[in-house]
């Protein structure tokens, strides 16, 4: 008996929910497709009908995370007199606050952070690198605009400022997710961003 599209979609979602739980608890490297099948209550054949391997599952989980409204951010940055630092700090705070409040996002990002970057999982690392490169280009262009506006402190170049902002946010998230969530990421992360953007801002000319 052939499955309907609705049934196939439901099974796919069931597999993804099971994979999220198994990969988060065991780590992708230590989990098998059989583990996912048991957790999902389906056969291995059902899993392989939807996903070729564990990397496919991880990529699908990653794609399930809604990203910040990058097109809207890019349009805001195009405005001639935009407060670049205000916009970037607001977006950074929103990202950290969203992570702090969303357990699904926490699990997926933890899975990605723990994932091996070799073998069948190399595609995951390549995808993350592509996303990082796109974000870096956007940030560097934003800081270049702040520099043209006379806002960027002379101690910083657009590339250095963009790199530092990425490192701070990624470092905060990695530290919090992987090492026991020992601090208030929303409050302390927001304060870290405030201090960082203070260092970016050029002294006012008197």
Residue 60, pLDDT score: 92
Q: Do 58 and 74 share a structural domain?
A: no
Q: Do 190 and 88 share a structural domain?
A: yes
Return the CATH number at 19: 1.10.10.60
Q: Do 171 and 97 share a structural domain?
A: yes
Residue 206, pLDDT score: 37
Cβ(66)–Cβ(59) below 8 Å? no
Pairwise CA distance, residues 111 & 123, whole Å: 15
Q: Do 113 and 81 share a structural domain?
A: yes
Return the CATH number at 77: 1.10.357.10
Residue 38, pLDDT score: 94
Residue 77, pLDDT score: 84
Q: Do 162 and 106 share a structural domain?
A: yes
Number of domains in the chain: 2
Q: Do 82 and 12 share a structural domain?
A: no
Provide the CA 160 distance to its chain's centre, in angstroms.
Answer: 21
The residue out of 17, 32, 62 marking a domain boundary is 62
Q: How far is CA 19 from each of CA 52, 115, 178, rounded to the nearest angstrom? A: 13, 13, 19
Q: Do 194 and 112 share a structural domain?
A: yes
The residue out of 16, 39, 62 marking a domain boundary is 62
Q: Do 137 and 163 share a structural domain?
A: yes
Closest CA relative to residue 162, chosen from 99, 47, 84, 72: 84
Cβ(161)–Cβ(97) below 8 Å? no
Mean pLDDT, contiguous 10-residue spans, the chain (206 residues): 72 93 93 94 91 92 76 79 93 93 94 86 88 91 95 96 96 95 96 97 68
Residue 4, pLDDT score: 78
Which residues, in sequence order, are CB contacts of 23 under 8 Å at separation 6+?
A: 31, 54, 57, 58, 61, 111
Cβ(174)–Cβ(189) below 8 Å? no
Q: Do 11 and 106 share a structural domain?
A: no
Q: Do 183 and 81 share a structural domain?
A: yes
Q: Do 155 and 90 share a structural domain?
A: yes
Residue 205, pLDDT score: 45
Q: Do 70 and 49 share a structural domain?
A: no
Residue 206 lies in a domain: no
The residue out of 62, 77, 95 marking a domain boundary is 62
Q: Read out DSSP for 188-205?
A: HHHHHHHHHHHHHBPPPP
Closest CA relative to residue 70, chosen from 4, 131, 129: 131
Closest CA relative to residue 199, chosen from 145, 131, 143: 143
Give the domain range for residue 55.
Answer: 5-62
């Amino acid at each position: 008996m052939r499955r309907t599209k609705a049934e196939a979609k439901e099974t796919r979602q069931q597999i993804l929910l099971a994979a999220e739980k198994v990969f988060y608890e065991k780590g992708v490297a230590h989990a098998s497709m059989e583990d996912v099948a048991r957790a999902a209550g389906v056969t291995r054949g059902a899993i392989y009908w939807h996903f070729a391997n564990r990397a496919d599952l991880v990529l699908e989980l990653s794609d399930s995370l809604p990203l910040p409204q990058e097109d809207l951010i890019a349009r805001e940055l195009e405005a001639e007199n935009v407060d670049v630092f205000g916009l970037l700090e607001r977006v950074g705070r929103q990202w950290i606050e969203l992570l702090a409040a969303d357990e699904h996002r926490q699990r997926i990002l933890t899975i990605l952070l723990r994932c091996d970057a070799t073998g069948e999982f190399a595609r995951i690392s390549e995808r993350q690198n592509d996303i990082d490169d796109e974000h870096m280009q956007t940030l560097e262009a934003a800081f270049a605009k702040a520099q043209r506006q006379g806002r960027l402190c002379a101690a910083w170049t657009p590339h250095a400022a963009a790199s530092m902002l990425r490192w701070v946010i990624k470092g905060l998230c990695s530290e919090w997710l992987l090492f026991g969530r020992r601090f208030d990421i929303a409050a302390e992360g927001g304060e870290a961003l405030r201090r960082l953007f203070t260092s970016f801002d050029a002294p006012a000319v008197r």
